[in-house]
Amino acid sequence: MIMDRIALIITVVGGLNWGSVGLFRVDFISYLFGGQTATASRVVYTIVGLAAIWCVSLLFRESSVSERD
């Protein structure tokens, strides 16, 4: 499903951003969009959070053989 892939990509990007925050103290989202409290940054953080919630549903779905192709 295309929505699953989009959510997974967004979640991976968010995870990489948080990894850079943890390792290097560099927040690429806030750098690109004008700080952590900027509206654009908050929108991106919200989208990443929603994508992560969507990805939680992937853990509980049973996929059939035809969906894997």
| Side-chain-facing half-sphere of 9: CA atoms under 13 Å | 6
Residue 13 counted as domain residue:
yes
What residue numbers bound the domain in which 6 lies? 2-63
Low-confidence ranges of the chain (pLDDT < 50): none
Residue 69 counted as domain residue:
no
| Single pTM value for the model | 0.83
pLDDT at 22: 97
Exposed, middle or buried by CB within 10 Å (0-12, 13-18, 19+), for 4?
middle
Q: Per the structure block, which two tokens stand in for 40?
A: 């654009």
pLDDT at 65: 53
User: What's the CA gap between 16 and 27, in Å, rounded?
Assistant: 10
Domain count, the chain: 1
Angle at 63 between CA 3 and CA 44, to 5 degrees: 25
Residue 68 counted as domain residue:
no
Residue 31 counted as domain residue:
yes
pLDDT at 69: 53
User: What's the CA gap between 5 and 56, in Å, rounded?
Assistant: 13
